[in-house]
Structure 1
Amino acid sequence: MEIPNDSPVNPEQVTSAQERGNPADMAQSGDFNNSNSKKKKAGAEAGTSRGNKSFSIKLAPATNLWTTQKNGAVKLRMEETCCGGVSPLTVAQMFQETVNQCGDHVAIGFKQTNQWETLTFAEYYGECRKAAKSFLKLGLERFHGVGILGFNSPEWLIANVGAVLAGGLAVGIYATNTPEACKYVAQHCEANILVVENAHQLKKILEIQNQLPHLKAIIQYKFALEVHQPNIYMWKAFMKIGEKIPDAKLDEIMDSQMANQCCTLIYTSGTTGIPKAVMLSQDNLTWTANTAGKMVDIKRAGRERVVSFLPMSHVAAQMMDIWIPMKFGAATYFADPDALKGSLVNTLKEVRPTAFLGVPRVWEKIEEKMKETSAESSTLKRKIAIWAKGIGLQAGYNNMYGNTSVPCGFALANSLVFKKVRVLLGLDNCTKYFTGAAPITKDTLEFFLSLGIPIFELYGMSESTGPHTVSQKNYFRITSCGKTMEGCKTKVDKPDELGTGEICFWGRNIFMGYLNMDEQTQEAIDKVGWLHSGDLGKFDEDDFLYITGRIKELIITAGGENIAPIPIEDSVKSKLPIISNAMLIGDKRKFLSMLLTLKCYTDDETGAPLDALAPASVVFCHKHECPATFVSEVLQKNDPLFQKAIQDGIDTVNRRATSNAQKVQKWIILEKDFSIIGGELGPTMKLRRGIVLKMYKDIIESLYVD
């Protein structure tokens, strides 16, 4: 049955796919292989077959805090605090514990022919066991990768968790990756199995499969196969392959797993070189899920709902959509693949989540849409909204500082504006609004705070299994990323006179190391075990952490993607010999743009750039039928052929980008080249990015005007 828009999702009202039966063509729809009551019963029994056994602590011998070997083990950073000292669990143990406690609660919700279907935790666990046995049947080896390439779906979760239960390494691959980027990940993790969403993703793998010596099988989980090969399976067929594998064999593998060994790889985007595989242990996942969930007040056993729409290859999405729900018995509902293109609000209205995580760009898009709608409303409605938001902002700041009193008129503002806004957004049941993965502006935070929607910032990185500092209703500050999680430690290394220094982490959330990368691991984790974030920050007097900048020259877009500017800038200069300096712009922005300068003569005494073009520049201009010999002439003429030549060079660089977020969308040529005397370059000719941002602020802003 369709979930009514005026009521929250109720597990009692939504029948499961197993109870109702599935469409005839399950392979076409990507549905699960449980179409009758006997199979449902078997799946439920599989979910609870191990009973209410007490779990023993299982740790491999280890003396070091880090390792780079896939089968290595690390010493856990146990603390005496209640959180830091909890007993380690494997993923299998955590999952079984939840099934025993709330096996009949909804675990997964997904759309099937425009109707919501669900799986309970017992059924979800049963499906993961089936996937694990099928992986084993296909030849999955211990500590070898299972790569998953596609948009979020139940199959994504089941493949991911199934890989862990089977003793493999779960490896998310960004759906926007090129075939070459997919090849690197698959080779590096020695993937035995690749799970792809559809024909588009399958095509990428078929281009590179001959270069993947460890690959044994490919599984497609949506739509019909267009290519038929002996090693390619549809999801339905895949889930049957392992039926004859004894449960006892899988149980033996699960029982042999150790909490301080690796089970998941999170690949960085390769912003400072080749991508690094962040090794996360079983304890990293289970401990962080438990601690973070408690810190942000996640309720247990069927009382929470989340919507999955951010890329599951990202650690934040995995923690929010997989591991915290698994630990606390919360339900994960899947948005449509076009969620970020406009359909997300529709899903929110139907599911009405109790907790919602959006990267800054998601919140900004919602803000932009609301402002557009407001501009089209009547004068009276706009005045009421302005009045209400003023009251809401004051109330929000009062609450932030522990003052529970509300301004006069708050009840009326809440009735006329705030409640209606939350209903329109599908957030009327939401009590926890989060943002992370990138910086968010104060303006956006205050916009939502004024509407009674306080957004709580989380801060961390893949190397800290996601969150390290958190905010929630009882402790948050605008522009702060919150307080350190219990059981963890944060220090500001080498602080300056203002107390600003590099932020360093300690805790059981700290990763094991980068797979097969000793040097990079030792750069990240110092000799006494602190993880160096590369971010600059400071604490206030109440122990709230504020991020003030980054040591490394990374750009973090509004969508949360980390991008190293230098490789892109160097590529542009390589393709366009007329370019002297190129500076990538895009921090906290919707897209990347670039400032360009042309090669020209310089003053012999001062080194100041002159207007006259250097010979290489003149040659480039003449080659493209532009007669200019001065920079000013190039800008004045604005010759179409010249403009096309520059754009062609940019396009060539863009074609090598591993994702759309790493493509340069706009560019502009400046009136003069960068120089030491001009202030753009330092004594060693190094680009002074902060100075350039200030000097050319107006020009940069013009690139982002719609």
Structure 2
Amino acid sequence: MAQVQPILSNGAINGFADKPDKVFAESFPRYAPASETGLDGPDQVLYSKLGTTTEPDGRCRIPLDDSEENSVKPMSVPGQLMRSAKLYPNHIAMVSRLGVDGKRISYTYREYELQVRTVARAFLKLGLERHHSVCILGFNSPQWFISDIAAIYAGGFAAGIYTTNSPEACQFIAESSRANIIVVEDAKQLEKILEIKKNLPLLKAIIQYDGIVQEKNVYSWSELLEIGKNESDDKLESVLKTIAANECCTLVYTSGTVGNPKGVMLSHDNLLHNARGIIKYVDLKSGCEVIVSFLPLSHVAAQVVDIFTSLYMGGTIYFADKNALKGSLVDTLTVARPTAFLGVPRVWEKIYEKMQEVARNNGPIKTWIANWAKAQGLQYNMNKMNGIDYKHWGYVIAKWLVFNKVKAALGLDRCKLFATAAAPLSTEVKKYFMSLDIPIMEAYGMSECSGAHTLSTEKKYRLGSVGCVMKGLKTKLDNLDNTGEGEICMAGRHIFMGYLNDPEKTKEAKDEEGWLHSGDLGRIDIDRFLYVTGRIKELIITAGGENIPPVHIEHLVLKELSALSNALLIGDKRKYLTMLVSLKTESNSDTGETLDSFTEDTKIWAKSIGSKSTTVSEVISTKDPIIFKEIQAAIDRANLKSISNAQKVQKFRILPHDFSIPTGELGPTLKVKRNVVYKMYANLIEEMYQ
């Protein structure tokens, strides 16, 4: 391998630079060769002897072996977009959401690449420096994608900011990533940046891509394009020559449920290797796939699927509108008719609840037909899951009579891959969709592994499992206990470079042998399926020293009573376990905030057990004995499944409202912020221990 003096600092971490990388030395006998000149970009590899770095201008070696997956030559994001623009010049890359004129704008791959180049030239003109960032604050749109990749073309980092972030949280990310430019969607998001602008000395320009710009010194999207059109390609081309596939191109900030978020440094090769692996593992076809973009692009799952997987295979992206998670998603689905669909558990649960509501209005004949069809669908898909792919006549009729119509109504009639990620999806919901011939595949991964590490497929599927590890990647369980559970650890070309400017946290996450320690507990069965059983940091250690996985107990309770939306276990350093529960209620379609009134299902349930309550406030103010008794009975049934007395829930309290993003209990990806909930309801918790 040719070795030259690096043009930029390698960003060595004390303790990482000179220690042997055992797992890569054994599993990956060689590394991608380095460029002779350092000016052969953007698809070059720059010399590094490091497997980890936390410096913004650092780079990491890329491990290769003779397998089909790991022998693929590294490529950069700009190199990949240029390739796709040549392969699919007239193929539609992106279709915008409806504009104020009621029309959608389409971009071919040729137009996509040209716009990226134009915006990259504008970013350079406005002062974007090498290894500094462009922060993007807005809902999914073509402008989001273009800004993201243009930042990378211009030698900077793309750094997404959640639209739910406060001005203070926006400031932290802008400071951490050394933002020179911030791109915002509209006046609402612009307000946050204007509030903190005085605290950002490195900020040189603000761009607003939607609505009429009314602030001075803020560029509109059309003005940005005009700036780029008036610049030559000379500076951009000179920057592209210095780019390497083994340096950072994207920063994904963790949700920061405890302390400030960490900036996960992902290289060009990290992201494209993961995208390539997903495409091959689930058998997506080049130039054929359609995806709807609606999950937050600040999250790694949406980035790797919507931006990079689509870019790699020449897919078409349809953008949903801002109200997608409040009910309008189906409108976009029926227009786009995607061939693959990824939804977080709450999305699938919302669809499930809506379908249950519709089913209640069916007459007896429709209900009988639906129940018969669902029995056929569940049996067929359970058989298929176990390797028996036999289409019984009952399934064929049910598909024609029911399943095709349901899928068409949801806009999923062309969909061949239904997936979920980011959090566990209940077995009850999975079985329901399986009975409708919509088998939902589970994916497992994290920001630090560029997205997916394991995936389920129709040929590799187990209920409760997150699938098998993708080809070319590695999994092991660390610190195994006597039940066969241990910490899930991952290795491969998709493992992140390090946390930006945070060597200490990096060492905690990525060990000297290159293994990423997930913090998740898991087990692997005889067929190599991975099961996530808990979270190490979420383990409750009682005053008696018993280690208790809260997620398992919470799921037991939720399974016993469908009227409960959330159950949160309490008991760390306490004498016994208690629980906070919330009832399923309606939500505000504009803000997403949960309301006081029960959902229709909850009302029916309450009436069926003899309760007259229709709101949470009624239940709490009257201490409704019937509802309290039913919740206690559900907890008692769950307690019967506990493996010890220490794992039994002794008391509970009903929360005044369900969890939501606006009220603070849920993060942008709809994960529960446990520490936030503990603080919000400290008084209720203390009540249970008095």
- Shorter-chain TM band: 0.7 to 0.9
**Counterpart for residue 458 of structure 2:** 473
Looking at structure 2, the residues matched to 582 and 128 of structure 1 have their Cα atoms a distance apart, in angstroms, of 53
**Counterpart for residue 428 of structure 2:** 443
**Counterpart for residue 104 of structure 1:** 90
Amino acid at match of 1:394: Q
SS in 1 for 2:63: coil
Looking at structure 1, the residues matched to 580 and 133 of structure 2 have their Cα atoms a distance apart, in angstroms, of 35
Q: CA deviation at 1:244?
A: 3.1
**Counterpart for residue 76 of structure 2:** 90
CA contact (8 A) 1:178 1:658 kept: no
| Count of aligned pairs | 551
Q: Which runs of 5+ in 1 are unaligned?
A: 1-53, 571-579, 594-634, 636-645, 676-706
Indicate whether 1:395 and 2:380 are aligned: yes
**Counterpart for residue 531 of structure 2:** 546
Amino acid at match of 2:62: L
Question: Aligned to 1:310, which of 269, 280, 295?
Answer: 295
**Counterpart for residue 22 of structure 2:** none
Amino acid at match of 2:490: F
TM alignment of 1:78-157, pairs within 5 A? 78-110=64-96, 111-112=98-99, 113-157=101-145
SS in 1 for 2:58: coil
Looking at structure 2, the residues matched to 82 and 299 of structure 1 have their Cα atoms a distance apart, in angstroms, of 18
Indicate whether 1:523 and 2:508 are aligned: yes
Looking at structure 2, the residues matched to 383 and 478 of structure 1 have their Cα atoms a distance apart, in angstroms, of 26
Looking at structure 2, the residues matched to 66 and 526 of structure 1 have their Cα atoms a distance apart, in angstroms, of 9
Q: CA deviation at 1:206?
A: 0.5
Q: CA deviation at 1:60?
A: 1.4
**Counterpart for residue 459 of structure 1:** 444
Indicate whether 1:354 and 2:318 are aligned: no
Question: Aligned to 2:202, which of 200, 208, 214?
Answer: 214
Question: Aligned to 1:379, which of 330, 346, 364?
Answer: 364
Q: CA deviation at 1:405?
A: 1.1
**Counterpart for residue 689 of structure 2:** 674
TM alignment of 1:616-635, pairs within 5 A? none
SS in 2 for 1:535: strand
Query: For the structure 1 residues 168 and 539, does the alpha-carbon distance in structure 2 shift closer, same or farther, using more than 3 Å as the test?
Result: same
Looking at structure 1, the residues matched to 73 and 583 of structure 2 have their Cα atoms a distance apart, in angstroms, of 41
Tell me whether 505-514 or 406-415 shows the greater mean CA deviation.
406-415
Q: CA deviation at 1:484?
A: 0.7
Q: CA deviation at 1:479?
A: 1.7
Indicate whether 1:508 and 2:493 are aligned: yes
**Counterpart for residue 181 of structure 2:** 193
SS in 1 for 2:229: coil
Residues 508-540 of structure 1 deviation map (CA, whole Å, 9 limit, x = unaligned): 110000000000000001121100000011111
Residues 283-320 of structure 1 deviation map (CA, whole Å, 9 limit, x = unaligned): 1111111111111111002x110000000000000111
Looking at structure 2, the residues matched to 278 and 254 of structure 1 have their Cα atoms a distance apart, in angstroms, of 23
CA contact (8 A) 1:177 1:658 kept: no
Looking at structure 1, the residues matched to 499 and 241 of structure 2 have their Cα atoms a distance apart, in angstroms, of 26
TM alignment of 1:13-52, pairs within 5 A? none
Query: For the structure 1 residues 397 and 658, does the alpha-carbon distance in structure 2 shift closer, same or farther, using more than 3 Å as the test?
Result: closer
Query: For the structure 1 residues 476 and 587, does the alpha-carbon distance in structure 2 shift closer, same or farther, using more than 3 Å as the test?
Result: farther
Looking at structure 1, the residues matched to 397 and 75 of structure 2 have their Cα atoms a distance apart, in angstroms, of 49
Query: For the structure 1 residues 585 and 484, does the alpha-carbon distance in structure 2 shift closer, same or farther, using more than 3 Å as the test?
Result: farther
Looking at structure 2, the residues matched to 239 and 346 of structure 1 have their Cα atoms a distance apart, in angstroms, of 31
Residues 646-689 of structure 1 deviation map (CA, whole Å, 9 limit, x = unaligned): 999x99x96899869757598983796438xxxxxxxxxxxxxx
Looking at structure 2, the residues matched to 153 and 121 of structure 1 have their Cα atoms a distance apart, in angstroms, of 15
Q: CA deviation at 1:566?
A: 12
CA contact (8 A) 1:107 1:120 kept: yes
Q: CA deviation at 1:80?
A: 2.5
Looking at structure 2, the residues matched to 211 and 78 of structure 1 have their Cα atoms a distance apart, in angstroms, of 44
Query: For the structure 1 residues 508 and 655, does the alpha-carbon distance in structure 2 shift closer, same or farther, using more than 3 Å as the test?
Result: closer
Query: For the structure 1 residues 56 and 198, does the alpha-carbon distance in structure 2 shift closer, same or farther, using more than 3 Å as the test?
Result: closer
**Counterpart for residue 391 of structure 2:** 406
Q: CA deviation at 1:183?
A: 0.5
Q: TM-score, normalised by structure 2?
A: 0.75
**Counterpart for residue 265 of structure 1:** 251
Indicate whether 1:70 and 2:56 are aligned: yes
Q: CA deviation at 1:327?
A: 0.3
Percent identity, aligned pairs only, is 45
CA contact (8 A) 1:280 1:511 kept: yes
Looking at structure 1, the residues matched to 378 and 683 of structure 2 have their Cα atoms a distance apart, in angstroms, of 39
Query: For the structure 1 residues 117 and 673, does the alpha-carbon distance in structure 2 shift closer, same or farther, using more than 3 Å as the test?
Result: closer
Indicate whether 1:205 and 2:193 are aligned: yes
Looking at structure 1, the residues matched to 378 and 213 of structure 2 have their Cα atoms a distance apart, in angstroms, of 53
SS in 2 for 1:502: strand
Indicate whether 1:430 and 2:421 are aligned: no
Looking at structure 2, the residues matched to 400 and 85 of structure 1 have their Cα atoms a distance apart, in angstroms, of 32
Looking at structure 2, the residues matched to 143 and 337 of structure 1 have their Cα atoms a distance apart, in angstroms, of 31
CA contact (8 A) 2:74 2:245 kept: yes
Q: CA deviation at 1:421?
A: 0.5
Looking at structure 2, the residues matched to 671 and 319 of structure 1 have their Cα atoms a distance apart, in angstroms, of 43
CA contact (8 A) 2:569 2:577 kept: no
Amino acid at match of 1:316: A
Q: TM-score, normalised by structure 1?
A: 0.73
RMSD across aligned positions (CA): 3.3
Question: Aligned to 2:317, which of 332, 350, 369?
Answer: 332
Looking at structure 2, the residues matched to 75 and 513 of structure 1 have their Cα atoms a distance apart, in angstroms, of 13
Looking at structure 2, the residues matched to 386 and 647 of structure 1 have their Cα atoms a distance apart, in angstroms, of 36
Query: For the structure 1 residues 74 and 368, does the alpha-carbon distance in structure 2 shift closer, same or farther, using more than 3 Å as the test?
Result: same
**Counterpart for residue 546 of structure 2:** none
Amino acid at match of 1:62: S
Looking at structure 1, the residues matched to 665 and 470 of structure 2 have their Cα atoms a distance apart, in angstroms, of 39
Q: CA deviation at 1:256?
A: 1.4
CA contact (8 A) 2:41 2:244 kept: no
**Counterpart for residue 224 of structure 2:** 238
Query: For the structure 1 residues 536 and 581, does the alpha-carbon distance in structure 2 shift closer, same or farther, using more than 3 Å as the test?
Result: closer
SS in 2 for 1:458: strand
Looking at structure 2, the residues matched to 581 and 458 of structure 1 have their Cα atoms a distance apart, in angstroms, of 31
Tell me whether 180-189 or 110-119 shows the greater mean CA deviation.
110-119
Question: Aligned to 2:277, which of 280, 284, 291?
Answer: 291
Looking at structure 2, the residues matched to 655 and 90 of structure 1 have their Cα atoms a distance apart, in angstroms, of 38
CA contact (8 A) 2:333 2:411 kept: yes
Looking at structure 1, the residues matched to 307 and 77 of structure 2 have their Cα atoms a distance apart, in angstroms, of 11
SS in 2 for 1:491: strand
Amino acid at match of 2:325: L
SS in 2 for 1:170: strand
Query: For the structure 1 residues 294 and 657, does the alpha-carbon distance in structure 2 shift closer, same or farther, using more than 3 Å as the test?
Result: closer
Q: Which runs of 5+ in 2 are unaligned?
A: 1-39, 540-549, 556-565, 595-627, 629-654
SS in 1 for 2:64: coil
Amino acid at match of 2:514: G
